[in-house]
Amino acid sequence: MSVEAVTAENQAPPKPRRKLRNYLLDPQFQMKYVGMVVGVTFVVASVLGAFVYDFSTSLTDSMMANELLLDEYQGSASFQQIEERARAFDRFVLISIILGVLSLVVALGLTGIVVTHKVVGPAYKMRLLLSEIGEGRLSLRGRLRRGDELQSLFVSVEEMVDRLRAEREEQIDALDRAIAKLRAGDDRDQALASLEAMRDQMARSLE
C-alpha cells in the first residue's frame, strides 16, 4: 500500500483552506493589476464623490438659508441649531461617500485577487511541468483544475509533450532496429545509414 493510500484512508479529506493569503501566489503580478483596477476605481469614484459632495453642500447651504428665512417668521430654531444640522448633513454625506468609495475598492480588490489567482495558479503549475520536461521526463503529471484559466496554453503543452514522446518513440525504434542489425552482423551499411539519418534529423531540430 502506498504512502498516499495510507494517508488518504487515515485522514479526513483536508478541507481546502480558502484564506486570502492562499490566493496570493504571485503577489507582485496580482497586486499590480489589482492596484490598477482599484486605482482607476478610486480616482473615478473620488471625482464623482467630490462632485456629489459639492452638490450636497450647496444644497444644504440653500436649505439652511431657507430655514434661516423661515426662522425670521417662525422663531422655531436658533442659527446655531440650524447650522449644526446642516453641517451634520454634510458630514453624513462625506462619510457616506468615503464609505462608498472604500466599499467599491474593497469589492474590486477582492474580485481582482480571485480573478488573477485563476491565471497565476495555472502559470505556476505549468512552470513546474515545463521544468520536469526540461529534466528529461516527457510526461505531464498533473492537470489544471476546472475554472483555471490558460487552459488552451496547457493544451499546447500537452500536445508538445505528446509530439516529443512520439518523436522519441520513433527514435528508440530506429535505434533498436539498427542495434539488432549490427548485432546480427548483417546490413551494417544500412544500419549505419539509418543511424546517420537519425543523427541528421536530430541536428536539424537544433537549427
Q: 97 with 125: CB under 8 angstroms? A: no
3-state secondary structure of 118: helix
> Smallest gap, in angstroms, from Cβ of residue 26 to a copy of itself?
8
Whose Cβ is closer to a copy of itself: residue 6's or residue 47's?
47
Q: CA 35 to CA 160: how far, in whole Å?
A: 35
Nearer to a copy of itself, 22 or 61 (CB): 61
Cell numbers standing for residue 164: 516529443
Closest CA to 57 of 85, 100, 93, 81: 93
Where on the phi/psi map is residue 77: left (φ > 0), alpha (ψ -120 to 50), or beta?
beta
**Surface-to-core class of residue 185, CB atoms within 10 Å of its CB (0-12 exposed, 13-18 middle, 19+ buried):** exposed
Q: Which is nearer to a copy of itself, 162 or 186 (CB)?
A: 162
Smallest distance, a copy of itself to C-beta of residue 27, A:
13
Shortest Cβ 100–a copy of itself spacing (Å): 4
Which of 8/47 has CB closer to a copy of itself? 47
Q: How far is the CB of 14 from a copy of itself (least distance, A)?
A: 26
Of 24 and 133, the one with the shorter C-beta distance to a copy of itself is 133
Element (H, E) at 189: helix 188-205
Whole-angstrom Cα distance, residue 143 to residue 122?
9
| Nearest-approach distance from CB 39 to a copy of itself, in angstroms | 9
Q: How far is CA 28 from CA 31, 52, 148, 194, in A?
A: 6, 35, 19, 52
Is the Cβ of residue 20 or residue 44 nearer to a copy of itself in the bound state?
44
* Min separation Cβ 16 and a copy of itself, Å: 21
